[in-house]
Amino acid sequence: MNILISNDDGIEAVGLLTLAERLSGEHAIFVVAPDREQSASSHSLTLKRPLTVREIKENYYSVDGTPADCVNLAVNGILKKSPDIVISGINHGANLGDDILYSGTVSAAMEGLLLKIPSISVSFEMKRSIDFFPAADFVATLISFLKKTGIPNDTVLNINVPDEITKENPSYKITHQGKRIYDNAIFKSASTGKERIYTIGAQGIRFETDSESDFNAVIKGFVSITPLHLDMTNYASFEELHLWKL
């Protein structure tokens, strides 16, 4: 398969390089990734300045833009042939629950889906381990399976791999997006005159209890596979909204 790999941690990230190395023996690999970390960049595109693409080595390119920029440029400008699949990752840290709205990793995969290319995003919990190889092995197994079955239409598979993935044929669960509970999400670090300095980042992250969520699966040592799509319509609200008399 022709595989496009991108991420939001940058072209030199260990997770990306580990995945590219693992898949290169079986597939044609093309890496197009940001030239620096772009975490929490969401699905932003760079529209008001030209983007610089640098060839690092054969089939490896860096872009001074966002993850979504990278996938768009790769498909529409850099690669001679459209890839069979887009893989975003392996991200340094999980992308669970509400975090997918901010995640550059997930958004790179979503850009692939917008371009009609089957796409997955992959993240590694990385709380107690920095060994990306078991996660890369899982992706390799998944890709071999998807080569036969494909990905459901209009779907990005958001994969989250726990630290405990150390054995062969690790267990996985099909999950839905969980819900974070943010405590003290804003930290005031300093104040000088009329200026105040804040840091955005939850200090005590918790999540709602839900046995079928991505959070629950990863905490219990399962690889979480969550099907995502672009349609953000809340269909459950239709009945209530149709009762409105404005």
Determine the pLDDT at residue 202. Answer: 57
Determine the pLDDT at residue 49. Answer: 93
> In this structure, how many other beta carbons lie within 10 angstroms of the beta carbon of residue 113?
21
Task: Record the tokens describing residue 71, joined without a space.
Answer: 């996938």
133 and 161, same structural domain?
yes
Determine the pLDDT at residue 35. Answer: 95
Q: Does the residue 245 lie in any domain?
A: no
Torsion angles phi and psi, residue 103, rounded to 5? -70, 125
70 and 94, same structural domain?
yes
For the domain that residue 57 is a member of, what is the CATH number? 3.40.1210.10
With contact defined as beta carbons under 8 Å apart, do 109 and 120 qualify?
yes
Domain region containing 78: 2-178+213-232
41 and 114, same structural domain?
yes
147 and 193, same structural domain?
no
Determine the pLDDT at residue 2. Answer: 97
Secondary structure of residue 74 in the 3-state scheme? helix
Number of domains in the chain: 2
Q: Does the residue 30 lie in any domain?
A: yes
79 and 194, same structural domain?
no
Mean pLDDT of successive 10-residue segments in the chain (246 residues)? 97 98 96 92 90 96 96 96 97 94 95 97 92 95 95 96 75 92 69 78 70 93 95 93 93
List, in order, residues 6 or more apart from 88 with CB less than 8 Å away: 5, 6, 7, 8, 67, 71, 105, 106, 108, 109, 112, 119, 120, 121, 122
Determine the pLDDT at residue 200. Answer: 76
Alpha-carbon gap, residue 155 to 177, rounded angstroms = 14
174 and 184, same structural domain?
no
Determine the pLDDT at residue 40. Answer: 81
Determine the pLDDT at residue 242. Answer: 94
With contact defined as beta carbons under 8 Å apart, do 7 and 89 qualify?
yes
